Amino acid sequence: MAHKNKEKDLPPPPSLWATIGPSFILLGLALGSGELILWPYLAAKWGLGLMWGAFLGITFQYILNTETMRYSLAWGESVFVGLRKLGRWIPLWFIISTFIPWALPGFSSATAQILSRLFGFPNETLLAIFLLLLVGVVLTAGKVLYHTMEVIQRSVILIGLPLIAFLVVVVTKRADWLELGWGLLGQGAGWWFFPSGVSIAAFLGAFAYSGAGGNLNLAQSYYIKEKGLGMGKYASKITSFFSKEILDRTIS
């Protein structure tokens, strides 16, 4: 690989355990509107016959994520940098398309609402603002941004996945698994692929967010680079705003 007029050899592949970090982040970010809102809504209203759409969406995103990671492994840069080479206005598109879906603090508001119902907090709005500020403090306090995210997401997944598995075992029956199996083939209760009255907009939204969705798929290349996998070993890391390197550079 040519990097600043120098060629560097591709590092040897790390152990399987050493490569898990980026997957923790992607899995944590994938638990969003598709998994928490859209697919539960569709399944509650029409059953599991639409699960073929989830399987297809996950498959497409797997291919996209894999190729995104392969680029960063080979070039030691994010795929956003690579796409910038195709046109000078492409970064502007990524800024706008990322800002639009993430500008509204939906998850902060939803979390504040849940905590208020559970613990009786009187003001949901102030709690939502506090949660947003807390996230900002946590992400800013660490030295390297990627490491902070990996630690948090790893904790969430290690706690959340066993809990989800336990709930699945407790609440499901053999008939549910049979319905899921037929649903992966597109068969519902008396219909194939699309039941009468299903909202196509809701289905397409769930299909698009069967996983991380949107620019979060491309952001996986950041995590590969920041983890130092492949040629990312030679790339610089994104440090915290208050890291020593940034403060020294600002003062000088």
pLDDT by residue (tens digit) across 43-66?
A: 888 988 999 998 998 898 888 888
pLDDT at 221 over 50: yes
pLDDT at 2 over 90: no
How far apart are the C-alpha atoms of 133 and 242, rounded to whole Å? 16
Mean pLDDT of 209-215: 76
pLDDT on residue 181: 92
Domain boundaries, the chain: 10-251
Model confidence at 166, in pLDDT bands (50, 70, 90)? very high
Mean pLDDT of 74-78: 85
Q: What is the mean pLDDT of the chain?
A: 80
| Between 84 and 209, residue with greater pLDDT | 84
Helical spans, DSSP H, in the chain: 20-30, 33, 39-46, 51-75, 79-84, 90-102, 106-119, 124-141, 145-171, 174-184, 200-208, 215-218, 220-227, 244-251
pLDDT on residue 80: 87
Mean pLDDT of 116-123: 87
Q: In percent, how much of the chain has pLDDT > 70? A: 87
